[in-house]
A and B are shown apart, each in its own frame.
Chain A
Protein backbone atom coordinates (compact mmCIF):
# COMPACT_ATOMS: atom_id res chain seq x y z
CA UNK A 1 0.00 0.00 0.00
CA UNK A 2 1.22 3.45 -0.76
CA UNK A 3 1.96 5.92 2.00
CA UNK A 4 2.82 9.60 2.16
CA UNK A 5 5.06 11.22 4.76
CA UNK A 6 5.23 14.87 5.66
CA UNK A 7 8.06 15.21 8.10
CA UNK A 8 7.33 18.73 9.33
CA UNK A 9 4.21 18.73 11.44
CA UNK A 10 4.43 22.35 12.54
CA UNK A 11 6.36 25.18 10.93
CA UNK A 12 6.57 28.75 12.18
CA UNK A 13 8.01 31.42 9.92
CA UNK A 14 8.20 35.17 9.81
CA UNK A 15 6.76 37.03 6.85
CA UNK A 16 9.09 37.16 3.85
CA UNK A 17 10.91 34.00 4.93
CA UNK A 18 11.29 31.18 2.41
CA UNK A 19 9.28 28.01 2.79
CA UNK A 20 9.99 24.41 1.95
CA UNK A 21 7.70 21.61 3.10
CA UNK A 22 8.83 18.05 2.61
CA UNK A 23 6.74 15.25 1.13
CA UNK A 24 7.87 11.69 0.44
CA UNK A 25 5.78 8.82 -0.88
CA UNK A 26 6.30 5.10 -0.99
CA UNK A 27 4.60 3.94 -4.19
CA UNK A 28 7.00 2.78 -6.87
CA UNK A 29 4.80 3.01 -9.94
CA UNK A 30 3.39 5.92 -11.89
CA UNK A 31 1.89 8.49 -9.57
CA UNK A 32 0.04 11.76 -9.69
CA UNK A 33 1.05 14.19 -6.96
CA UNK A 34 -0.85 17.00 -5.32
CA UNK A 35 -0.53 19.69 -2.72
CA UNK A 36 -3.70 20.90 -1.05
CA UNK A 37 -4.12 23.75 1.41
CA UNK A 38 -6.75 24.10 4.10
CA UNK A 39 -7.14 27.62 5.49
CA UNK A 40 -8.72 27.89 8.93
CA UNK A 41 -12.40 27.07 8.67
CA UNK A 42 -12.26 26.48 4.94
CA UNK A 43 -12.30 23.48 2.65
CA UNK A 44 -9.36 21.81 0.97
CA UNK A 45 -8.12 23.75 -2.04
CA UNK A 46 -5.76 22.52 -4.70
CA UNK A 47 -2.44 24.39 -4.77
CA UNK A 48 -0.77 22.46 -7.56
CA UNK A 49 -0.52 19.06 -9.18
CA UNK A 50 1.98 16.99 -11.11
CA UNK A 51 1.16 14.33 -13.69
CA UNK A 52 4.01 14.24 -16.16
CA UNK A 53 6.48 16.43 -17.96
CA UNK A 54 8.42 19.24 -16.31
CA UNK A 55 9.13 18.12 -12.74
CA UNK A 56 8.98 21.71 -11.52
CA UNK A 57 5.34 22.59 -11.14
CA UNK A 58 4.00 26.05 -10.49
CA UNK A 59 0.74 26.53 -8.66
CA UNK A 60 -1.42 29.29 -7.30
CA UNK A 61 -0.37 32.04 -4.89
CA UNK A 62 3.32 31.77 -5.78
CA UNK A 63 3.76 28.16 -4.70
CA UNK A 64 5.80 25.63 -6.62
CA UNK A 65 6.84 22.02 -6.11
CA UNK A 66 9.55 19.82 -7.52
CA UNK A 67 9.07 16.16 -8.29
CA UNK A 68 12.28 14.17 -7.77
CA UNK A 69 11.51 10.63 -8.85
CA UNK A 70 14.76 9.14 -7.56
CA UNK A 71 13.99 10.46 -4.08
CA UNK A 72 10.23 9.76 -4.19
CA UNK A 73 9.78 13.37 -3.13
CA UNK A 74 7.49 16.24 -4.03
CA UNK A 75 8.51 19.19 -1.87
CA UNK A 76 6.51 22.40 -1.76
CA UNK A 77 8.28 25.75 -1.89
CA UNK A 78 7.52 29.43 -1.74
CA UNK A 79 10.26 32.08 -1.85
CA UNK A 80 8.54 34.59 0.43
CA UNK A 81 5.61 33.69 2.66
CA UNK A 82 2.86 36.03 3.77
CA UNK A 83 0.73 36.07 6.89
CA UNK A 84 -2.19 34.92 4.72
CA UNK A 85 -0.33 31.65 3.99
CA UNK A 86 -1.09 30.49 7.53
CA UNK A 87 -2.88 27.21 6.94
CA UNK A 88 -2.48 23.45 6.95
CA UNK A 89 -0.81 21.92 3.91
CA UNK A 90 -1.39 18.39 2.69
CA UNK A 91 0.58 16.37 0.20
CA UNK A 92 -1.37 13.64 -1.60
CA UNK A 93 -0.66 10.84 -4.05
CA UNK A 94 -2.84 9.05 -6.55
CA UNK A 95 -1.55 5.94 -8.29
CA UNK A 96 -3.69 6.50 -11.38
CA UNK A 97 -5.62 3.27 -10.87
CA UNK A 98 -8.61 5.10 -9.51
CA UNK A 99 -9.52 8.33 -7.86
CA UNK A 100 -8.30 7.43 -4.41
CA UNK A 101 -5.94 9.95 -2.83
CA UNK A 102 -3.52 8.97 -0.09
CA UNK A 103 -2.75 11.98 2.07
CA UNK A 104 0.19 12.82 4.24
CA UNK A 105 -0.42 13.83 7.83
CA UNK A 106 -0.34 17.53 7.03
CA UNK A 107 1.91 20.43 8.02
CA UNK A 108 0.56 23.34 10.00
CA UNK A 109 2.21 26.55 8.88
CA UNK A 110 2.02 29.67 10.98
CA UNK A 111 3.38 32.88 9.52
CA UNK A 112 4.07 35.62 12.04
CA UNK A 113 3.38 39.17 10.80
Chain B
Protein backbone atom coordinates (compact mmCIF):
# COMPACT_ATOMS: atom_id res chain seq x y z
CA UNK B 1 0.00 0.00 0.00
CA UNK B 2 1.60 3.26 -1.11
CA UNK B 3 2.09 5.87 1.58
CA UNK B 4 1.34 9.57 1.51
CA UNK B 5 3.11 11.15 -1.45
CA UNK B 6 4.15 14.77 -1.45
CA UNK B 7 5.61 16.59 -4.41
CA UNK B 8 7.96 18.21 -4.96
CA UNK B 9 10.41 17.22 -2.22
CA UNK B 10 12.36 20.46 -2.42
CA UNK B 11 11.55 23.94 -3.70
CA UNK B 12 13.42 27.19 -3.80
CA UNK B 13 11.37 30.29 -4.45
CA UNK B 14 11.95 34.03 -4.37
CA UNK B 15 10.13 36.42 -2.08
CA UNK B 16 6.87 37.59 -3.61
CA UNK B 17 6.38 34.49 -5.73
CA UNK B 18 3.68 31.95 -5.17
CA UNK B 19 3.99 28.19 -4.79
CA UNK B 20 1.75 25.14 -5.02
CA UNK B 21 2.46 21.93 -3.13
CA UNK B 22 0.78 18.61 -3.79
CA UNK B 23 -0.27 15.73 -1.56
CA UNK B 24 -1.67 12.35 -2.60
CA UNK B 25 -3.15 10.51 0.39
CA UNK B 26 -3.12 6.79 0.96
CA UNK B 27 -5.57 5.08 -1.34
CA UNK B 28 -8.99 5.08 0.28
CA UNK B 29 -8.19 7.88 2.71
CA UNK B 30 -10.55 10.80 2.38
CA UNK B 31 -9.12 13.27 4.88
CA UNK B 32 -6.01 15.35 4.24
CA UNK B 33 -4.40 17.72 6.73
CA UNK B 34 -1.49 20.10 6.23
CA UNK B 35 1.13 21.18 8.75
CA UNK B 36 4.03 23.58 8.73
CA UNK B 37 7.21 22.55 10.56
CA UNK B 38 9.87 25.13 11.45
CA UNK B 39 12.67 25.08 14.03
CA UNK B 40 11.17 28.06 15.86
CA UNK B 41 7.45 27.28 15.84
CA UNK B 42 7.52 23.49 15.64
CA UNK B 43 4.62 21.70 13.99
CA UNK B 44 1.61 23.90 13.34
CA UNK B 45 -1.72 22.93 11.82
CA UNK B 46 -2.60 24.72 8.60
CA UNK B 47 -5.90 23.21 7.46
CA UNK B 48 -7.72 19.96 6.80
CA UNK B 49 -9.92 18.82 3.97
CA UNK B 50 -12.55 16.14 3.70
CA UNK B 51 -14.81 15.49 0.73
CA UNK B 52 -13.38 18.50 -1.10
CA UNK B 53 -14.38 20.84 1.75
CA UNK B 54 -12.14 22.65 4.19
CA UNK B 55 -13.22 21.48 7.64
CA UNK B 56 -10.74 23.22 9.91
CA UNK B 57 -8.25 26.02 9.54
CA UNK B 58 -5.29 26.96 11.68
CA UNK B 59 -4.06 30.41 12.56
CA UNK B 60 -2.31 31.31 9.32
CA UNK B 61 -2.80 34.35 7.07
CA UNK B 62 -5.02 34.22 4.02
CA UNK B 63 -1.94 33.83 1.79
CA UNK B 64 -2.12 30.17 2.72
CA UNK B 65 -4.90 28.31 0.96
CA UNK B 66 -5.69 24.83 -0.15
CA UNK B 67 -8.11 22.61 -1.94
CA UNK B 68 -9.01 18.99 -2.30
CA UNK B 69 -10.04 17.21 -5.44
CA UNK B 70 -12.64 14.49 -5.94
CA UNK B 71 -9.91 11.82 -5.85
CA UNK B 72 -8.88 13.15 -2.38
CA UNK B 73 -5.61 14.57 -3.64
CA UNK B 74 -4.90 17.94 -2.10
CA UNK B 75 -2.91 21.01 -2.98
CA UNK B 76 -1.86 23.92 -0.86
CA UNK B 77 -0.90 27.30 -2.21
CA UNK B 78 1.11 30.07 -0.65
CA UNK B 79 0.97 33.43 -2.39
CA UNK B 80 3.30 36.40 -2.00
CA UNK B 81 5.98 34.33 -0.34
CA UNK B 82 7.88 35.73 2.62
CA UNK B 83 11.22 34.61 4.03
CA UNK B 84 9.39 33.31 7.09
CA UNK B 85 7.45 30.84 4.96
CA UNK B 86 10.60 28.74 4.63
CA UNK B 87 9.64 25.47 6.27
CA UNK B 88 8.93 21.81 5.86
CA UNK B 89 5.30 21.39 4.81
CA UNK B 90 3.80 18.08 5.85
CA UNK B 91 0.68 16.38 4.70
CA UNK B 92 -1.18 13.76 6.71
CA UNK B 93 -3.96 11.49 5.56
CA UNK B 94 -6.65 9.66 7.47
CA UNK B 95 -9.53 7.43 6.39
CA UNK B 96 -12.27 9.52 7.91
CA UNK B 97 -12.98 12.80 9.64
CA UNK B 98 -13.56 13.34 13.30
CA UNK B 99 -12.53 9.94 14.51
CA UNK B 100 -8.94 10.28 15.56
CA UNK B 101 -8.63 6.63 16.39
CA UNK B 102 -7.96 5.92 12.74
CA UNK B 103 -4.61 7.59 13.12
CA UNK B 104 -2.78 9.88 10.78
CA UNK B 105 -0.09 8.92 8.31
CA UNK B 106 2.39 11.60 7.33
CA UNK B 107 4.22 12.14 4.09
CA UNK B 108 7.91 12.99 3.81
CA UNK B 109 7.12 16.64 3.28
CA UNK B 110 8.07 19.40 0.90
CA UNK B 111 10.96 21.57 2.02
CA UNK B 112 10.35 25.11 0.84
CA UNK B 113 13.13 27.66 0.93
CA UNK B 114 12.29 31.28 0.23
CA UNK B 115 15.23 33.48 -0.76
Contact = CB atoms under 8 A, between A and B. Distances in A.
A94 B103 CA distance: 10
B105 A99 contact: no
A44 interface: yes
Interface residues of B, number: 27
A98 B97 CA distance: 6
Interface stretch (A15-23, A79-87, A100-108): A100-108
A105 B42 contact: yes
Interface of A: 32, 34, 36, 42-46, 49, 51, 90, 92, 94, 96-106
A contact face: mostly helix, strand, loop, or mixed: loop
Contact of A99 (B44, B58, B90, B100): B100
Contacts, number: 66
B22 interface: no
B12 interface: no
A106 B42 contact: yes
Given A46-B103, A103-B35, 20 more contacts: A32-B100, A45-B106, A49-B101, A96-B98, A96-B99, A96-B100, A97-B98, A98-B55, A98-B56, A99-B31, A99-B100, A100-B48, A101-B33, A101-B45, A101-B92, A103-B42, A103-B44, A104-B42, A105-B42, A106-B43
A78 to B, nearest CB: 20
30 contacts: A32-B101, A34-B104, A36-B106, A43-B107, A43-B108, A44-B90, A46-B103, A51-B101, A90-B43, A92-B43, A96-B98, A96-B99, A97-B98, A98-B48, A98-B55, A98-B56, A98-B98, A99-B33, A99-B55, A99-B56, A99-B100, A100-B33, A100-B48, A100-B56, A100-B58, A101-B35, A101-B43, A101-B104, A103-B42, A103-B44
Interface in B79-107: 90, 92, 94, 97-101, 103-107
